Amino acid sequence: MTLTRADDAAALFTAGYSCSQSVSAAFAEDFGIDRTTALRLSGSFGGGMAHTDNSCGAVTGALMVIGMKYGMTDAGNPAGKEKTYAVAQEFIAEFMRRDHAIRCTDLLGFNLSDPKQLAIARKNHIFRTKCTQYVRDAAEILEKVL
């Protein structure tokens, strides 16, 4: 049986990588980026961007993947930037349709920038019970929009 990208991303998350790392690393090698580099590049984006109450790491990891494929590399070609934004917007719209939010606090019900709420979320295994599905959703959506 062949693992899907969603399975790979979920397995990485379950192994202990952040949501952002899990999504970006599951796709990185398709774009000539080794897994270790992808893990390093995405390392500070998990938990609502380093527990600062911002965008879900599964979303930021997915946006990195979209950039790997469509990111503008020629400053004289703004159409490349617009293509990247269009695909990113498509991704975000579908993630919002499925999960109703892209900010960690809204997804999890805990403000991860508050150490007390973060501790409660950890104690209640919120990351394992909720975030694995967000990682899986992000990877599934990426498969469709790339």
pLDDT in tens, 31-41: 999 999 999 99
pLDDT at residue 3 in the model: 85
Residue pointed to by tokens 């590049």: 41
User: Model's pTM, two decimal places?
Assistant: 0.96
Sign of the torsion formed by the C-alpha atoms of 41, 143, 4 and 132: positive
Task: Compute the mean pLDDT over every residue in the chain, rounded to the nearest whole number.
Answer: 96
Confidence tier at 10 by pLDDT (50, 70, 90): very high
Domain span at residue 53? 5-145
Give the pLDDT confidence of 80-136 residue by residue, as tens digits.
Answer: 899 999 999 999 999 999 999 999 999 999 999 999 999 999 999 999 999 999 999
Residue pointed to by tokens 């790392």: 21
> What's the rounded Cα separation, in Å, for the pair 81 and 2?
34
Under DSSP, the state recorded for 128 is I
Instruction: Give which of 116, 23, 14 is closest to 64, Cα–Cα.
Output: 23
Q: Are 24 and 139 in contact (CB under 8 A)?
A: no
What's the domain count of the chain? Answer: 1
